[in-house]
Amino acid sequence: MKIPFTKAHGAKNDFLLTWEADAPEEGRAELARAICDRHTGIGADGWMVIAPLRDAEADGSLQLYNSDGGTAEISGNGTRCAAALLIRQGFAASVIRVRTGAGIKTLRLLERHGLGFRFEMDMGRPEILAERGFLTLAGGPLDVTLVGVGNPQCAVPVETFDFDWRTMGAEIESHHHFPQRTNVSFVRAVDEHTIEVRLWERGAGETMSSGTGSAGAAVAAVARGMAKSPISVRTPGGTLDLRWETNVYLIGPAEIVAEGEFLL
């Protein structure tokens, strides 16, 4: 079986995109694990099944599978990649509405240079579930902020990244407090309008960047008085810019880098 794909990334958070007409209806979890494997597959943080739409509400839709085969409600970086593909194929113009598992998200194209795009995305209204909470981990209690941005986010304020945050991220992701697991961000304040993050994502592990993770980290930083909107979020894959009004607006890139077929 041949599975066509387009590969794109948003600040090095990478995805494989397949049109719904080309994706088998059965076995998608297994396919996601296979195609996203970085040694025996194409390699990506997630796989998305994309469908163009011609209705009054949306220009396209996406179904997101993490690299472990589990489904996710939304990815901020991934939705920008889907919008880039929809524009490239002529299904949308400068304003793009994408139906996700977290509802319809509207993106505005700010600039385009060939296969490189830059969007402002309305992430919706965030929900602060716990401004200051404590999780009991193997190493003791941990101070966290819990945020909903279409998917669950656990933000951990830190002074430095000089500790084993990956092991801690994996422990938090599967903590019994989160029956559906959670995304985790470790957040360090740089200045009044800048934070730096490290990201451990549900079903994908360490990622170079995350749109929803950056949104959750920024909301947590504002709520805790660590920073003020607008905020530049420094990730290992690049900087994303956010502002929090009633809704959170995320500005970031999307770049299409490859096309091909995965032989299953």
Same domain, 157 and 83: no
Same domain, 149 and 238: yes
pLDDT in tens, 63-102: 999 999 999 999 999 999 999 999 999 999 999 999 999 9
User: The domain that contains 81 carries what CATH number?
Assistant: 3.10.310.10
Per-residue model confidence (pLDDT) at position 229: 98
Beta bridge partners of 9: 14, 255
Same domain, 138 and 116: no
Same domain, 94 and 193: no
pLDDT band, very low/low/confident/very high, at 259 (cuts 50, 70, 90): very high
| % of the chain at pLDDT higher than 90 | 98
Structural domain boundaries enclosing 21: 2-120+252-263
Per-residue model confidence (pLDDT) at position 264: 87
Same domain, 114 and 133: no
Helix (H), strand (E) counts: the chain = 4, 17
Mean pLDDT across the chain, nearest whole number?
A: 97
Question: SS3 of 196, please?
Answer: strand
Instruction: Flag whether pLDDT at 54 surpasses 80.
Output: no
Question: SS3 of 213, please?
Answer: helix
Same domain, 133 and 114: no
pLDDT band, very low/low/confident/very high, at 202 (cuts 50, 70, 90): very high
Structural domain total, the chain: 2
Same domain, 52 and 159: no
Same domain, 61 and 97: yes
Cα separation, 58 vs 15, whole angstroms: 21
Its sign, for the CA torsion 63, 68, 72, 75, is: negative
Q: What is the pTM of this model?
A: 0.96
pLDDT in tens, 214-248: 999 999 999 999 999 999 999 999 999 999 999 99
Per-residue model confidence (pLDDT) at position 261: 98
Residue labelled with tokens 């903590």: 175
Same domain, 6 and 111: yes
Instruction: Flag whether pLDDT at 46 surpasses 90.
Output: yes
Instruction: Flag whether pLDDT at 55 surpasses 90.
Output: no
Letter for the amino acid at 20?
E
Same domain, 225 and 137: yes
pLDDT band, very low/low/confident/very high, at 56 (cuts 50, 70, 90): confident
Same domain, 55 and 92: yes
pLDDT in tens, 163-188: 999 999 999 999 999 999 999 999 99
